[in-house]
């Protein structure tokens, strides 16, 4: 605590500047503790963000306050012959929506299974956590092993096909996949699967937390009313999960649009996304600082549009229902 | 539940009852396989001889494992440098992150709820910007300004500074939650006993919060150990382990890639084992309601 004298002085002093000085003096301990973090965030987070925004509204030959860089990015947009930047935007949105759908869908169904009581549940729940620590780049490397032209997906599917073909009358003549090098949505799909695998633990944890927050008597009431399993799920579980669903979706959406390592590894040369486009523009040999800055601002804009749109339209309509 | 309800329920046929019961074990086993198979594959490929992986349908099992690629990675793969760099950067980042974030998190945790909430949200909002938005500018300025002849590009210091950007908001957020649970009475008691404010902090508050600080620092260590984006922007010569994996991918050598990836993954298995106690669904439910 500050000394009593300074408290009295600050309380009785009518002038504002002196008063502020008193406030600083009284709270100097707190201020000293806060200072390193505040200074760090200002200099190495806020300043760089401002710097990048400022640069994206500048151009090498004309100073600040021009839209030239953005205009250059959006130049030549067409449906028949999309530019690389245009493809990057479309691919980013496709990958993000695809991986969100996979993560939330499969995450919810795994959480439902792990919410039920069965022997060995503790062990299975621990196993589900493993990918949380696996580096993203490793998850990309694994999916490369799985989905490439001579990948393990072929071995696994061939094994399953062999088993199924043992059933009389069934003959599955399996042709090899090569999803990762196929280009188009197939390549984007492998990125989404890699992303899903990596973040499954987080999504499952959020949904299990949500399922455990639903009180048992709601289900008992549904049983008394003779609800079927599907009705219990559709009318009780889903509506009560909405806050957790929204949390998972927003947390994941921020990362899903920023996807980078996985796209670099799995689609580096074939399908650009905004992350790989920005890094390609920034790094040598291209080294185009202004374009990469503007592209990163566009990426931020897409994330914001998605989140605001979700909160404004989807989340609200669900609450009203 | 009363008996009436039970008989009533039994009287109705539920079309989902049977298929769900039959599918449940398959679903659980399938989920476990989905999670574990990729990790198995990384180690499998790093230990299997090339002949087992040849062809369009590489073998999922083999009996003839070899240490050839592990030996090669350590002897001629130039792994020592990246390994040391990754270890030092992750460890120093963790220490600095605690040193900077813990005192600030303590102050934030003692603010009025409305202000505390605003500050924490403000910190988390910085995480909503693409890392590139921050990283591009940081890398450019590191290349341009070299104070006291220090080159931040391609150095340990530069990468540590960059990794702190990502970890500080996160660790501060976790620690605010930890300090909130420590009663203010404890501090007042210490001060009545004659402890200074700093003494109260270092001898009472931080030791009581040691568990939370340990968990938070493990997360930061993991983040830095796995981090790829800043490392790529800030590195030209001295690679970190994740960059080394990427280099192997770029070269197109599956087994070298798998070996480096396995080395990168190994410490994480242990860390997750220690963390699993704290990764309970209950830990998250508070964050949603709050």
Contacts of A171 (CB under 8 A, 6+ apart): A165
What pLDDT tens digit does each residue of chain B (290 aa) get?
A: 454 555 455 555 678 888 888 889 999 999 999 999 999 999 999 998 888 787 778 888 888 888 888 888 888 778 888 999 999 999 999 999 999 999 999 999 999 999 999 999 898 888 889 999 999 999 999 988 887 777 888 889 999 999 999 999 999 999 998 899 888 888 888 988 888 889 999 988 998 888 889 888 988 998 999 999 999 999 988 899 999 999 999 888 888 899 999 989 888 777 777 776 666 655 544 444 33
Does A294 reside within a domain? yes
Torsion on CA atoms B145, A51, A301, B224, rounded to nearest 10: 30
Q: Is A292 on the interface with B (CB under 8 A)?
A: yes
Domain at A261, CATH number:
1.10.3720.10
Of residues A146, A208, A282, nearest to B281 (C-beta):
A208
pTM: 0.86
The token pair that represents A42 in the structure block: 């200002």
Residue A73: inside a domain, yes or no?
no
**Are A261 and A207 part of one and the same domain?**
yes
The answer on A25 and A119 residing in a single domain is no
Please report where in the chains the tokens 């806020």 appear, as a residue. A46
With a CB cutoff of 8 Å and minimum separation 6, the contacts of A163 are none
- Claim to verify: residue A44 and residue A114 sit in the same structural domain: no
Among B42, B137, B252, B283, most A C-beta atoms within 10 A, so best to mutate, is B137
How many other CB atoms sit within 10 Å of the CB of residue A54? 13
Task: Write the secondary structure of chain B as one string of H (helix), E (strand) and C (coil).
Answer: CCHHHHHHHHHCCCCCHHHHHHHHHHHHHHHHHHHHHHHHHHHHHHHCCHHHHCCCCCCCCCCCCCCHHHHHHHHCCCCHHHHHHHHHHHHHHHHHHHHHHHHHHHHHHCCCHHHHHHHHHHHHHHHHCCHHHHHHHHHHHHHHCCHHHCCCCCCHHHHHHHHHHHHHHHHHHHHHHHHHCCCHHHHHHHHHCCCCHHHHHHHHHHHHCHHHHHHHHHHHHHHHHHCCHHHHHHCCCCCCHHHHHHHHHHHCCHHHHHHHHHHHHHHHHHHHHHHCCCCCHHHHHHHHHC
Q: Are residues A267 and A135 in the same domain?
A: yes
Residues A146 and A233 in one domain: yes
| Stretch among A131-135, A215-219, A221-225 having the lowest mean pLDDT | A131-135
Looking at the structure, tell me whether residues A244 and A122 fall in a common domain: yes
Query: Could you give the residue ranges of the DSSP H alpha helices within chain A?
Result: 4-12, 16-26, 28-41, 47-56, 68-74, 84-115, 121-128, 136-147, 152-165, 179-182, 184-213, 216-224, 229-231, 238-257, 261-267, 274-282, 289-309, 316-320
Look-up: residue for tokens 């999960």? Answer: A241
A208 domain residue, yes or no: yes
**Nearest-by-CA chain A residue for B219:** A133
Contact A209, A179 (CB under 8 A): no
Tell me how many domains chain A contains: 2
- Between A158 and A195, the more confident residue is A195
CB pairs under 8 A between A and B: 279
Distance of CA A44 to the CA centre of its chain: 23
Selected for mutation to probe chain B from A41, A47, A279 (highest B CB count within 10 Å) is A41
Do A36 and A142 fall into the same domain?
Answer: no
List the structure tokens of B125.
Answer: 């909002």
CB contact under 8 A, B134 and A45: yes
Q: Which domains does chain B have, with CATH numbers?
A: 3-66 (no CATH), 77-289 (1.10.3720.10)
Q: What is the DSSP letter of A3?
A: -
> Do the chains contact at A135 and B265, CB–CB below 8 Å?
yes
**Interfacial A residues in 152-181 facing B (CB < 8 Å):** 152, 154-156, 158-159, 176
- Say yes or no: A141 and A22 in one domain: no
Q: In A, which residues are within 8 Å of B165 by CB distance?
A: 44-45
Give the pLDDT mean for A165-171: 83
Same domain for A189 and A295? yes
Range of the domain at A108: 86-320
Q: Is residue A291, in this structure, part of any structural domain at all?
A: yes
Same domain, residue pair A97 and A8:
no
Closest CA in chain A for residue B108: A34
Neighbours of B27 (CB within 10 A): 15
- Å between A79 CA and nearest CA of chain B: 27
Select from B227, B281, B283 the residue whose CB has the most chain A CBs within 10 Å, as the one to mutate to test that interface. B281
Q: Answer yes or no: do A117 and A19 share one domain.
A: no
Whether A36 and A109 map to the same domain: the answer is no
Count of CB atoms within 10 A of residue A66's CB? 13
The reply to whether residue B136 touches residue A264, judged by beta carbons under 8 angstroms, is no
Residues 98-157 of A with CB under 8 A from B: 109-110, 113-114, 116, 118, 124, 126-146, 149-152, 154-156
The reply to whether A38 touches chain B by the CB within 8 Å rule is yes
d(CA A107, CA A247): 13
Chain-chain contact of A278 with B169 (C-beta, under 8 angstroms): no
Q: CB-based burial of residue B188 (10 Å sphere; 0-12 exposed, 13-18 middle, 19+ buried)?
A: exposed
Show Cβ contacts of residue A87 under 8 Å, excluding neighbours closer than 6 positions. A271, A272
Q: Does residue A65 form part of some domain?
A: no
Cβ separation of A52 and B14 shorter than 8 Å?
Answer: no
What token pair was written down for A281?
Answer: 């523009």
- Shortest CA gap B143–chain A (Å): 13
Residue A299 lies in a domain: yes
């Amino acid at each position: 605590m500050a000394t009593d004298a300074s408290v009295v002085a600050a309380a009785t002093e009518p002038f504002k500047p002196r008063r502020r000085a008193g406030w600083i003096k009284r709270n100097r301990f707190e201020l000293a503790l806060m200072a390193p973090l505040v200074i760090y965030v200002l200099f190495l987070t806020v300043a760089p963000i401002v710097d990048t925004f400022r640069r994206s509204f500048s151009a090498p030959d004309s100073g600040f306050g021009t839209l030239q860089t953005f205009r250059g990015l959006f130049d030549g947009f067409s449906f028949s012959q999309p530019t690389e930047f245009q493809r990057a935007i479309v691919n980013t949105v496709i990958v993000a929506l695809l991986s969100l759908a996979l993560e939330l869908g499969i995450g919810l169904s795994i959480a439902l299974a792990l919410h039920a009581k069965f022997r060995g549940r503790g062990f299975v729940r621990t196993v589900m956590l493993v990918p949380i620590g696996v580096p993203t780049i490793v998850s990309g490397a694994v999916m490369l092993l799985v989905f490439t032209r001579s990948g393990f997906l072929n071995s696994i599917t061939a094994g399953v096909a062999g088993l199924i073909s043992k059933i009389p009358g069934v003959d599955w003549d399996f042709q090899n996949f090569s999803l990762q090098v196929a280009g188009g949505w197939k390549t984007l799909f492998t990125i989404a699967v890699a992303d899903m695998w990596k973040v499954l633990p987080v999504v499952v944890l959020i949904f299990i937390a949500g399922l455990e927050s639903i009180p048992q008597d709601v289900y008992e009431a549904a049983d008394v009313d003779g609800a079927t399993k599907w009705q219990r799920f559709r009318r009780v579980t889903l509506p009560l999960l909405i806050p957790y669903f929204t949390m998972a979706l927003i947390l994941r959406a921020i990362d899903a649009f920023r996807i980078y390592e996985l796209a670099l590894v799995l689609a580096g040369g074939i399908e650009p996304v905004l992350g790989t486009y920005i890094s390609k523009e920034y790094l040598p040999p291209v080294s185009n600082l202004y374009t990469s800055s503007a592209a990163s601002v566009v990426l931020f804009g897409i994330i914001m549009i998605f989140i605001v749109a979700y909160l404004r339209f989807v989340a609200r309509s669900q609450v009203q229902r | 539940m009363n008996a009436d309800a039970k008989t009533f329920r039994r009287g109705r046929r539920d079309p989902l009852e049977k298929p769900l019961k039959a599918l449940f074990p398959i679903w659980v086993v399938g989920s476990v396989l989905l999670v574990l198979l990729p990790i198995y594959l990384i180690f499998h490929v790093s230990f299997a001889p090339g002949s087992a992986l040849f062809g369009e349908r590489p073998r999922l099992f083999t009996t003839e494992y070899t240490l050839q690629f592990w030996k090669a990675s350590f002897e001629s793969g130039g792994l020592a440098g990246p390994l040391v760099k990754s270890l030092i950067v992750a460890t120093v980042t963790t220490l600095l992150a605690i040193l900077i974030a813990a005192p600030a998190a303590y102050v934030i945790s003692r603010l009025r709820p409305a202000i505390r909430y605003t500050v924490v949200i403000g910190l988390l909002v910085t995480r909503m910007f693409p890392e590139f938005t921050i990283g591009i500018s940081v890398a450019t300025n590191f290349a341009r300004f070299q104070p006291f002849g220090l080159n931040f590009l391609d150095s340990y210091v530069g990468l540590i500074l960059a990794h702190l950007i990502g970890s500080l908001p996160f660790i501060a957020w976790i620690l605010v939650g930890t300090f909130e649970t420590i009663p203010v009475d404890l501090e007042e008691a210490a001060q009545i006993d004659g402890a200074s404010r700093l003494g109260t902090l270092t001898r009472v508050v931080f030791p009581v919060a040691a568990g939370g600080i340990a968990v938070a620092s493990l997360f930061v260590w993991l983040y830095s150990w796995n981090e790829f984006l800043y490392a790529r922007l800030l590195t030209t010569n001295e690679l970190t382990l994740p960059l080394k994996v990427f280099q192997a991918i770029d070269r197109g050598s599956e087994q070298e890639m798998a070996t480096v990836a396995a080395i990168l993954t190994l410490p994480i298995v242990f860390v997750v084992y220690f963390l699993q106690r704290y990764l309970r669904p209950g830990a998250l439910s508070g964050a949603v309601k709050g």
